[in-house]
């Protein structure tokens, strides 16, 4: 605690260097959810990082000569006491929330204000995502699309994070964040086209369903590897910084992704490159069948930020208002301070990993039900919006029936649309068709002519 206090007082003395929005935060923030607990975070703005570090060490027993080792990277105090740093702090890092499970605003919360218009849009998009998931899931079950993967239970992380960003921010998604794309205006029809892999799919039918991407919406195309996007986001963020853009890169991963080498690479590079990137880790408890106890022994993801020299916050991922506030603030920090921020959103994968998975084989149904009902992020946000008088049953009925209709129509259209033409198999491997591909296309066409029945009849030749 002494360490924390020293750190805090240091921060307060630095207040005049801070942009207004940060300073106001400091005044009103309760310590336990303080986003600026790490005094070292300011080291870049001080003449010597070493001094800041030394001050922190007052609570450990230093040797009587008060000597320091002047090591590359800053001075380190000596101590005569042999003491190992424990594997964890006594208390787990608390989880920031603004709404309780009933959707009531918790006392003394320092959430970012959300307007009626914004709140209603957020709620509507959460319902849209939820509805899209349940209908596409059924469509897959009927064998009409080959695969699907829902974001159920994670609607708040999806939509609230998107709502807190600017359209100029570059998204490097994993694959359970279609809500961000939805928020940005990718239509239900476009989602359906992609899932059916038809000629209107921007990805030209080359990837499995749910591998969305849209240049127009600054949303990089999804790839199946779970953490490769993290170091890429640093490169994208570095570009934004060098171009002087008032935007950041935002990248997502799950608890499983945090075990990949790319997670380490991404966070470490981001810190060293001072890149404006926000890492959002959806800790949803499960990586297919691997629970977090089998994934890591740290206090989740949030504590990893400090080890890389990155500000971090743990947030209730099922509280849309908290997610919105954390992402909104993280974005401001990233852009203004040119530094990365790590957000760990505690949430729960209510659905199976994908349509190829049956999660009741490895986790208790009670657990799923609890998160589906008692901790449902959509219901919680709805209660808050209703309580504000911004939403009623009539709106609800209208919204749900409208989305359902749109989805049914979109699916019908997507299902009827033509498959992409055969030439799209060969295009875009390179910017131009090399001779080996020209030859292969020619040979393939001959084979198709000879054995037309071996091939799908619905692909235009």
Partner 1 sequence: MSTCVRKFGRWVSLVSKRGFSTSTCIQEDASQQSLKSLNLCSAVNQALHIALDTDPRSYVFGEDVSFGGVFRCTTGLADRFGKQRVFNTPLCEQGIVGFGIGLAAMGNRAIAEIQFADYIFPAFDQIVNEAAKFRYRSGNQFNCGGLTIRAPYGAVGHGGHYHSQSPEAFFCHVPGIKVVIPRSPQQAKGLLLSCIRDPNPIVFFEPKWLYRLAVEEVPEDDYMLPLSEAEVIRQGTDITLVGWGAQLAIMEQVCIDAEKEGISCELIDLKTLIPWDKETVEASVKKTGRLLISHEAPVTGGFGAEISASIVERCFTRLEAPVARICGLDTPFPLVFEPYYMPTKNKILDAIKSTVNY
249 binds partner 1 (CB under 8 A): yes
DSSP result, 253-294: EETTGGGSHHHHHHHHHHHHHT--EEEEEEE-SEETTEEGGG
**In whole angstroms, how far apart are CA 244 and each of 218, 229, 311, 340?**
17, 22, 22, 16
14 binds partner 1 (CB under 8 A): no
The answer to whether 258 is a known catalytic residue is no
Task: Give 43: exposed, middle or buried? Use CB within 10 Å, 0-12, 13-18, 19+.
Answer: middle
Question: In the window 269-328, what residues touch partner 1 (CB under 8 A)?
Answer: 269, 272-273
**Catalytic annotation, pick one of 41, 259, 354, 359:** 354
422 binds partner 1 (CB under 8 A): no
DSSP state letter for 212: -
Q: Which is nearer to partner 1, 98 or 341 (CB)?
A: 341
Q: Which stretch binds partner 1 (CB under 8 A): 101-109, 121-129, 221-229, 383-391?
A: 221-229
How many residues touch partner 1 (CB under 8 A)?
49
The answer to whether 138 is a known catalytic residue is yes
Question: Measured from the CB of residue 1, what is the shortest distance to partner 1 in angstroms?
Answer: 33
Using CB under 8 A, which of 87, 435, 450, 454 touches partner 1? 435
Find, among 299, 321, 306, 313, the residue nearest to 344 by Cα: 313
**Catalytic annotation, pick one of 88, 224, 239, 401:** 224
200 binds partner 1 (CB under 8 A): no
Find, among 258, 250, 306, 260, the residue nearest to 282 by Cα: 258
DSSP result, 342-379: EEEEE----S-SSTT--GGGTS-HHHHHHHHHTT-HHH
**Catalytic annotation, pick one of 51, 138, 398, 439:** 138
Task: Give 175: exposed, middle or buried? Use CB within 10 Å, 0-12, 13-18, 19+.
Answer: buried
Q: Are 365 and 302 in contact (CB under 8 A)?
A: no
> Tokens in use for 92?
């787990």
Using CB under 8 A, which of 25, 123, 196, 238 touches partner 1? 238
> Which residues neighbour 160 within 8 Å (Cβ) at sequence distance 6 or greater?
122, 320, 321, 323, 324, 327
338 binds partner 1 (CB under 8 A): no
215 binds partner 1 (CB under 8 A): yes
Using CB under 8 A, which of 24, 185, 428, 461 touches partner 1? 428
146 binds partner 1 (CB under 8 A): no
377 binds partner 1 (CB under 8 A): no
Q: How many Cβ atoms sit within 10 Å of the Cβ of residue 276?
A: 29
Q: Which is nearer to partner 1, 208 or 301 (CB)?
A: 208
Using CB under 8 A, which of 128, 198, 228, 359 touches partner 1? 228
Q: Are 376 and 345 in contact (CB under 8 A)?
A: no
Q: How many Cβ atoms sit within 10 Å of the Cβ of residue 459?
A: 16
202 binds partner 1 (CB under 8 A): yes
115 binds partner 1 (CB under 8 A): no
Q: Which is nearer to partner 1, 146 or 402 (CB)?
A: 146
Q: What is the dihedral of CA 24, 26, 280, 307, to 10 degrees?
A: 150
Q: Which stretch binds partner 1 (CB under 8 A): 28-36, 65-73, 262-270, 293-301?
A: 262-270
Question: Measured from the CB of residue 243, what is the shortest distance to partner 1 in angstroms?
Answer: 8
Token look-up 């994934």 returns 295
The answer to whether 298 is a known catalytic residue is no
- Distance between CA 94 and CA 303 in Å, rounded? 11
265 binds partner 1 (CB under 8 A): yes
Per this entry, what is the length of the chain?
A: 461
The answer to whether 154 is a known catalytic residue is no
> Which residues neighbour 325 within 8 Å (Cβ) at sequence distance 6 or greater?
96, 98, 110, 111, 112, 164
434 binds partner 1 (CB under 8 A): yes
**Catalytic annotation, pick one of 55, 353, 367, 441:** 353
430 binds partner 1 (CB under 8 A): yes
268 binds partner 1 (CB under 8 A): yes
Q: Which stretch binds partner 1 (CB under 8 A): 182-190, 337-345, 365-373, 425-433?
A: 425-433
Q: Which residues bind partner 1 (CB under 8 A)?
A: 170, 172, 201-204, 206-207, 211, 213-215, 220-221, 223, 225, 228, 230-240, 242, 249, 261-262, 264-266, 268-269, 272-273, 424, 427-431, 434-437
Question: Which residues are known catalytic residues?
Answer: 138, 224, 353-354
């Amino acid at each position: 605690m002494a360490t924390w206090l020293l750190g805090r007082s240091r921060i307060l003395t630095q207040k005049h260097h801070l942009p207004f929005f940060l300073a106001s935060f400091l005044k009103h923030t309760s310590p336990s959810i303080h986003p600026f607990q790490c005094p070292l975070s300011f080291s870049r703005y001080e003449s010597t990082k070493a001094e800041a570090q030394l001050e922190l060490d007052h609570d450990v027993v230093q040797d009587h000569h008060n000597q320091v080792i002047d090591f590359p990277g800053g001075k380190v105090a000596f101590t005569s006491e042999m003491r190992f740093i424990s594997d964890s702090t006594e208390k787990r890092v608390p989880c920031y929330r603004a709404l309780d499970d009933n959707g009531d605003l918790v006392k003394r919360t320092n959430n970012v204000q959300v307007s009626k218009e914004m709140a209603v849009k957020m709620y509507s998009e959460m319902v849209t995502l939820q509805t899209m998931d349940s209908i596409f899931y059924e469509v897959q079950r009927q064998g009409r699309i080959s695969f699907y993967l829902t974001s159920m239970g994670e609607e708040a992380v999806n939509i609230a994070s998107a709502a807190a960003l600017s359209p100029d921010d570059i998204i490097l998604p994993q694959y359970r964040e279609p809500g961000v794309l939805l928020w940005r205006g990718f239509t239900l029809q476009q989602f359906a086209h992609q899932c059916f892999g038809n000629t209107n799919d921007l990805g030209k039918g080359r990837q499995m369903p749910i591998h969305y991407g849209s240049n127009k919406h600054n949303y990089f195309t999804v790839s199946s590897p779970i953490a490769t996007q993290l170091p890429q986001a640093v490169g994208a963020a570095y570009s934004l910084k060098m171009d002087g853009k008032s935007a950041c890169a935002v990248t997502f991963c799950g608890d499983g992704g945090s075990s990949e080498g790319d997670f380490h690479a991404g966070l470490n590079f981001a810190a060293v490159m001072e890149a404006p990137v926000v890492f959002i880790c959806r800790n949803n408890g499960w990586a297919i069948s691997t629970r977090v106890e089998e994934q890591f022994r740290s206090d989740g993801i949030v504590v990893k930020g400090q080890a890389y020299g990155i500000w971090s916050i743990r947030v209730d991922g099922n509280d849309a208002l908290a997610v919105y506030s954390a992402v909104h603030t993280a974005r401001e920090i990233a852009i203004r301070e040119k530094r990365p921020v790590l957000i760990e959103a505690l949430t729960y994968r209510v659905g199976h990993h994908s349509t190829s998975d049956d999660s009741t084989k490895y986790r208790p149904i009670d657990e799923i039900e609890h998160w589906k009902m008692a901790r449902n992020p959509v219901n919680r946000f709805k209660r808050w919006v209703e309580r504000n008088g911004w939403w009623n049953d009539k709106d609800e009925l209208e919204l749900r029936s409208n989305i359902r209709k749109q989805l049914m129509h979109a699916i019908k259209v997507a299902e009827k649309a033509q498959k992409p033409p055969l030439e799209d198999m060969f295009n875009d491997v390179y910017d131009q068709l090399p001779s080996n591909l020209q030859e292969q296309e020619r040979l393939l066409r001959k084979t198709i002519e000879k054995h037309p029945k071996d091939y799908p009849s619905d692909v235009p030749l």
